[in-house]
Chains A and B, each alone.
Chain A
Amino acid sequence: MNYYKVKSILKSSFLHIFLMTVAMACLFPLFWMLRSALMTNETVFVDKSFIPQTLHFENFIHAWEQGNFGTYFLNSIIYTTSVVFCIVIIASLAAYAFSRLKFPGKNLFFYMFVLALMIPLPGSFVPLVVLMNKLGLANTKLGYILCMVNVGLSMSILLLKTFFDKMSPDLEDAARIDGCGKMRIWWHIALPLARPAIAVIVIFNSLNVWNEYILAQLLLNDKDLMPLQRGIMVFQGAHSVDYPVLMAGLTISVIPIIIVYLAMQKHIIKGLSSGAVVG
């Protein structure tokens, strides 16, 4: 075997070992969660084996029933799809306008959106509750959706504007010559080209909305309006925690996010590597 071949094999082996270690470090918490979900409260602290001796699949049924997951799951799907849909439409329109159009106060408005990123969510709790109550939107799905759209908008506009700024204007010029208006250029040219950036926005915001609980708890009183995270909270007592059922609940709750990630994986990697998140 020649020197270069040995060098290449060694290099690739090290790289693979390193990547496998990183992958295991990422997957281990998920595995531990699944393993704990299959145990009982008595064995979860005692049994240190990787695979429990007796598997308690009934924990998933308990989690679904006790946590009222049916209602919360549907609510979370409604919130996530509505918020992400609204964010993609509004953010792409706004980002396209900030990137391509000339209008008075353009920079001022853009920096206002960017500044909104600096306000931590807890800092806006009280004003949001007061505002939603004054608008009669407290304890409604619409109120919560609007607040969550507001939470995700700034970051999404910033990402998309960065993407549009880097996009060549030639295609748009050609479309304009063919008679396209601004809206048609946005819909037919800008939006399809921004697919990788949109994929990043979809996954970031889906994760954000799917895992959100604090704002939901603040704005919603009816438990029938609550998202999935409310169901998980039920297993965490003030002093004691039902760990196996909690882990079963968490396992159920991560499945949709894993599906979204796997479905958009190709676009996300493209989006990240093509500079969608350089902003």
Chain B
Amino acid sequence: MRKLLGVILCLFLVVGCAKKKQDMNTISIWHWMTDRHEAFEQLAVKYEEQTGVKIKFDLYAPSDAYTQKIIASAQAKVLPDVYGVLDKKEIFASFINSGFITDLTEEFQKNNGEWEKSLFAKALNVNRFKEGNIYDVKPGVYGVPLDVTNIQMLYNKKLLAKAGIMAPPKTFEGFLAAIAALKRVGISGLVSGWGEMWMADCFASNYAFNIMGEEKIMATYRGEISYTDPDWIKVFTIFKTLSESGAFAEGIVTKLNKLAEQDFALERAAFSFNGSWSVNIYHDMNPDLEYGAMLPPVFNKNRPMSIWGGAGSSLVINNSSPRRDKTIAFLKWLTAKEQQAFLAKETRNLPSNREALSAIPPILSQFAEVMDNTTHPTIWMQNEFPLVLERMDKGIQSIIIGEKTPEQVAREVQEVKEKELKKSRRGR
């Protein structure tokens, strides 16, 4: 019996240990997009039929584990032909500087910039390094955006109608009036996952852009303007006003976005602050949900509202890939109108190709229409110190729960800012 068991186990080992080799006509792509895997595989079959080139999509999820795999594989020099760098921009830059990523600038500019023009400029900018960038990367475009994303406000049509609101509010005053009307009929106002601090940070950033504009924000980041400036106080006061008017759903400061998504999908709140990816989630949770997308209501009517957005998912090409030309050809094909429309339809993500917009569902169109209003920390010339952002996010939470005033928070944020500035000057 023991011998038999030993033989069986040895057989398992021997049978399972044969190493497989990949041929030169097969492009290997490592990705993390679970919800798009099936659609990718369908496109791979189609591409093989058209060109004879085999595409092997390998899925590694969740994204944290994927990131670890990419970093470990880069160090072992076993990266696939195509992959994604999901980390911060500085890690992306270090991959480029280490020679792991192909510079695609020339490819994008070929044929009078045909490929570049077909894609959203904002999406491409996430993968672009400008002249004089702080990461010391040679200027150029290093990634191919597969889809775009942005974060807006969503409104429940049925709940607004119940409160007698016929159109979503466009101004901040209009929004406060809508909240009052909703309160009268016992409907909760705005829900969002502000337990994940970056979301509250994103909301604050939207209003900072609307109130003072990009240049003044960048000047604050450079340390030239204080957070106690009246414009920043106005930004913090927005949270106080919303909180005092009862605009926020209960527990917003500790709510995770997944739970906030449930609340909106199950019609427990009339407004939500969430990204274009939520279209997928709401469809899964409540296919009958009637909702629309809108820009956060403007506070300063003289300046447009800027929202966070850009490339959703991007892929890069391994600089040492022996199949680089074939890989570039495939990515051009993948980001062409027809394939992008297919991906948008199948996966409910915004396409990165502008021409594919005509073929997407109406709710996605509402998100796509405002792509020109998008901005993102990854494309700003300066970024704030993480500790300052953390202080600001915690301060916003304190304002919402009525623990601190906007002025107090502004002073505290400025104190951290000054400490960080001193540290960075000493570091130089």
Residues of A at under 8 Å CB distance from B? 41-42, 45-46, 75, 78, 81-82, 85, 122, 125-126, 129-130, 133, 136, 138-142, 145, 213-214, 217-218, 221-223, 225, 233-240, 242
Distance in angstroms between the alpha carbons of A192 and B406 in the assembled complex: 71
On whether the beta carbons of B262 and A45 are closer than 8 Å, the reply is: yes
For this complex, 19 residue pairs linking A to B, each with C-beta atoms less than 8 Å apart, are A41-B285, A42-B285, A42-B286, A45-B262, A126-B72, A139-B19, A214-B68, A217-B65, A217-B66, A217-B69, A222-B58, A233-B61, A237-B35, A238-B61, A238-B63, A238-B277, A239-B278, A240-B281, A240-B284
For chain B, residues 68 to 82, give those with C-beta under 8 angstroms from any C-beta of chain A: 68-69, 71-73, 75-78, 80
Tell yes or no: B342 within 8 A of A by CB: no
On whether the beta carbons of B16 and A78 are closer than 8 Å, the reply is: yes
Known interface pairs A125-B72, A139-B20, A234-B37; A145-B285 also in contact (CB < 8 Å) = no
CB distance from B285 to the nearest CB of A (A): 6
Distance in angstroms between the alpha carbons of A30 and B198 in the assembled complex: 34
Partner of B13, one of A46, A122, A145, A214: A145
Known interface pairs A41-B284, A213-B65, A234-B34; A239-B277 also in contact (CB < 8 Å) = yes
On whether the beta carbons of A142 and B68 are closer than 8 Å, the reply is: no
Distance in angstroms between the alpha carbons of A75 and B13 in the assembled complex: 11
Distance in angstroms between the alpha carbons of A269 and B285 in the assembled complex: 44
Distance in angstroms between the alpha carbons of A221 and B60 in the assembled complex: 9
Q: For residue A45, which residue of chain B has the nearest CB?
A: B262
Tell yes or no: B12 within 8 A of A by CB: yes
Q: For residue B72, which residue of chain A has the nearest CB?
A: A129
Distance in angstroms between the alpha carbons of A271 and B78 in the assembled complex: 44
Distance in angstroms between the alpha carbons of A130 and B18 in the assembled complex: 19
**Contacts between chains A and B (CB distance < 8 A), count:** 106
Residues of B within 8 A of A234 (CB): 34, 37, 59, 61
On whether the beta carbons of B75 and A238 are closer than 8 Å, the reply is: no
Residues of A within 8 A of B69 (CB): 217-218
Distance in angstroms between the alpha carbons of A133 and B60 in the assembled complex: 19
On whether the beta carbons of B280 and A78 are closer than 8 Å, the reply is: no
Known interface pairs A45-B285, A237-B35; A221-B58 also in contact (CB < 8 Å) = yes
Partner of B16, one of A136, A141, A223: A141
Residues of B within 8 A of A41 (CB): 284-285
Known interface pairs A142-B13, A142-B16, A214-B65; A242-B72 also in contact (CB < 8 Å) = no
Residues of A within 8 A of B161 (CB): none
Contact with A along B268-281 (1 / 0, CB 8 A): 00000000011011
Distance in angstroms between the alpha carbons of A221 and B278 in the assembled complex: 30
Residues of B within 8 A of A130 (CB): 72, 75-76
Partner of B72, one of A75, A142, A218: A218
CB distance from B202 to the nearest CB of A (A): 16
Partner of B32, one of A141, A213, A238: A238
Distance in angstroms between the alpha carbons of A218 and B59 in the assembled complex: 12
On whether the beta carbons of B60 and A217 are closer than 8 Å, the reply is: yes
CB distance from A216 to the nearest CB of B (A): 10
Known interface pairs A223-B58, A239-B35; A82-B277 also in contact (CB < 8 Å) = no
For chain B, residues 258 to 317, give those with C-beta under 8 angstroms from any C-beta of chain A: 262, 265-266, 277-278, 280-281, 284-287
On whether the beta carbons of A82 and B13 are closer than 8 Å, the reply is: yes
CB distance from B68 to the nearest CB of A (A): 6
For chain B, residues 387 to 404, give those with C-beta under 8 angstroms from any C-beta of chain A: none
Distance in angstroms between the alpha carbons of A47 and B103 in the assembled complex: 52
Tell yes or no: B9 within 8 A of A by CB: yes
CB distance from A59 to the nearest CB of B (A): 14
Distance in angstroms between the alpha carbons of A242 and B17 in the assembled complex: 34
Residues of A within 8 A of B65 (CB): 213-214, 217-218
On whether the beta carbons of B76 and A141 are closer than 8 Å, the reply is: no
Give me the 4 closest cross-chain CB pairs, A-B, nearest first: A141-B16, A237-B35, A142-B17, A129-B72
On whether the beta carbons of A140 and B17 are closer than 8 Å, the reply is: yes
CB distance from A110 to the nearest CB of B (A): 28
